[in-house]
Amino acid sequence: MKALSIIALIFAGLSIFIPVGGVYIAILCSLLALISFRSQPTLSGITFGINIINTAFLSPSILLGDAASSGAFDTATSVTESPTEVGAVYWGYVGFHVIVFIIAAVYRLIRGTTTPAEA
């Protein structure tokens, strides 16, 4: 599991520099960190932190997609014609990382740490 958490950490760091696909790489890294959180909480927690910061503050493509989806750029349509509300796409991506982190922490609290034979 240590190798899995290291791979998740490396790709989470690389996802910061990838313009549009980095958001999806961060989602994959959060899932890998979820799997390895029980045996490697430090590396997996750092991975979650990088992904949350990357998605919340360093991904302008999410904000642009959210504004386009909510109709903020189009002044000709009314608010009722927009497919999403303002912030729905943004909080969907950020919320995914936060929820997965909470699930990982609760799972570790319930199941406890791993023994060397389980790892």
End-to-end CA distance of the chain: 7
Burial class (CB in 10 A: 0-12, 13-18, 19+), 91: middle
Task: Judge if pTM exceeds 0.75.
Answer: yes
Q: Are 8 and 32 in contact (CB under 8 A)?
A: yes
Residue keyed to tokens 């009314």: 78
Residue 32 sits at φ, ψ, to 5 deg, of -65, -40
pLDDT tens readout for residues 58-117:
888 888 888 888 776 666 655 556 677 778 889 999 999 999 999 999 999 999 887 776
pLDDT tens readout for residues 10-56:
999 999 999 889 999 999 999 999 999 999 999 999 999 999 999 99
Q: How far is CA 22 from the centre of its chain?
A: 10
Cβ neighbours of residue 44 under 8 Å, at least 6 residues apart?
5, 8, 33, 34, 36, 37, 104
